[in-house]
Amino acid sequence: MTDIARNQSLATRPLVVALAYDGLCTFEFGVAVEIFGLPRPELGENWYRFAVAAVDDGELRATGGIRIVADGGYELFEQADTIVVPGWRGVQTAVPDALCGALRQAHLRGCRIISICSGVFVLAASGLLDGRQATTHWRYTDELQQRFPAIHVVDDVLYIGDDRLMTSAGSAAGIDLCLHVVRNDYGLEVANSVARRLVVQPHRDGGQTQHLARPVARSRESERLGQLFDWLHGHLAETHTLESLALRVGMSPRTLLRRFQEATGMTPARWILNERLQRVQQALTESRLSIEHIAEVNGFGTASALRHHFQQQFAINPLAFRKKFTQLTK
């Protein structure tokens, strides 16, 4: 490939721009960098470009004593396909008018904008969320609703929004939202690959469970649970009961149920269902197997049972999901 052709190829890759500001939230910013800014040669040459836009003049400090050097300023918004707002320096801190205006202009021309955790207050100040659903960390949902009554605040989701404007709950939920963006842009297989590199679930179901105080499982029990998870991944299609799983790890059913919920936030039955549905998603986009066959090899027994659980979980039927995400990966 010539230098000219290589430069043309680079220019067509989608550009993700993350905001940097004085008082930057390091973890939220790191989520954006890890998912969108890390080179991923194993995924081909069409992976995202990544840049950092400073919204303040002068030195930019991040939590933990880190100093940030940005790639540019608001002019990067004009080129961005996606803008990430990684938190904000304080939910009571004013948002610069210039930032609000730049975000409105970017959104007007079709740029996708996402916020992580307290970054929702930046989008709220810009007026972009008026009349829309939005979320943030559970500590801030009441304040967000009180200060911005035109927003419909949803307090028990990991992320919410449409294709061009999305908000996430707490900091870790930013990972879920960013993986959702990858899934929409590159398909399920690529999103799963990124999730594996991060050693996180490609899709978490449920609400803001991070605000629940859970005791840490005893070390021996944690080891046995880890072995159980490994075993279950290899035997998902089989029939399991709480009693059979408890027997496998040498716990009483009651203890296993308690420890399993502490570790995952869900019952064994719910966890197994989620894992099976993730396998189904992968099979739908990576193969042309029939729904009947996919149902059988993934433990659902019948196609009707698979359709019921899939629709209930994802609000879309399996065939529609296959059509949508197969087109995205073409």
CATH class of 3-198: alpha beta
Domain 271-329, architecture per CATH: Orthogonal Bundle (1.10)
Mean pLDDT of 56-69: 92
**Pair 120, 173: CB distance under 8 Å:** no
Residue 202 has pLDDT above 80, yes or no: no
Residue length, the chain?
330
Residue 70 has pLDDT above 90, yes or no: yes
pLDDT confidence tier of residue 60, bands split at 50, 70 and 90:
very high
Percentage above 70 pLDDT, the chain: 88
Residue 277 has pLDDT above 80, yes or no: yes
**Pair 303, 295: CB distance under 8 Å:** yes
pLDDT confidence tier of residue 314, bands split at 50, 70 and 90:
confident
**Distance from C-alpha of 263 to C-alpha of 92, rounded to nearest angstrom:** 34
What pLDDT does residue 207 have? 53
What pLDDT does residue 217 have? 41
Indicate the DSSP class of residue 299.
T
Ramachandran angles phi, psi of 272, nearest 5°: -60, -40
Mean pLDDT of 120-141: 95
Higher-confidence position of 156 and 101: 101
What pLDDT does residue 155 have? 85
**Pair 233, 221: CB distance under 8 Å:** no
Which strand (E) or helix (H) includes residue 24?
A: none
Residue written as token pair 């799983």: 245
Residue 162 has pLDDT above 50, yes or no: yes
What pLDDT does residue 286 have? 84
Contacts of residue 245, Cβ cutoff 8 Å, sequence gap at least 6 = 228, 232, 256, 268
Residue 308 has pLDDT above 90, yes or no: yes
Higher-confidence position of 284 and 157: 284
What pLDDT does residue 177 have? 93
Q: What is the mean pLDDT of the chain?
A: 86
What pLDDT does residue 6 have? 46
**Domain ranges in the chain?**
3-198, 213-265, 271-329
**Distance from C-alpha of 237 to C-alpha of 299, rounded to nearest angstrom:** 4
What pLDDT does residue 20 have? 97
**Distance from C-alpha of 123 to C-alpha of 23, rounded to nearest angstrom:** 18
**Distance from C-alpha of 322 to C-alpha of 284, rounded to nearest angstrom:** 5
What pLDDT does residue 313 have? 86
Higher-confidence position of 184 and 54: 54
Across 4-8, 210-214, 273-277, least confident range: 210-214
What pLDDT does residue 287 have? 87
- Selection from 91-105, 211-225, 302-316 with the highest mean pLDDT: 91-105
What pLDDT does residue 261 have? 83
Across 105-114, 157-166, 198-207, 309-318, least confident range: 198-207
What pLDDT does residue 201 have? 62
How much is the pTM?
Answer: 0.65
What pLDDT does residue 324 have? 80
Residue 330 has pLDDT above 50, yes or no: no
Residue 226, both tokens = 């880890």
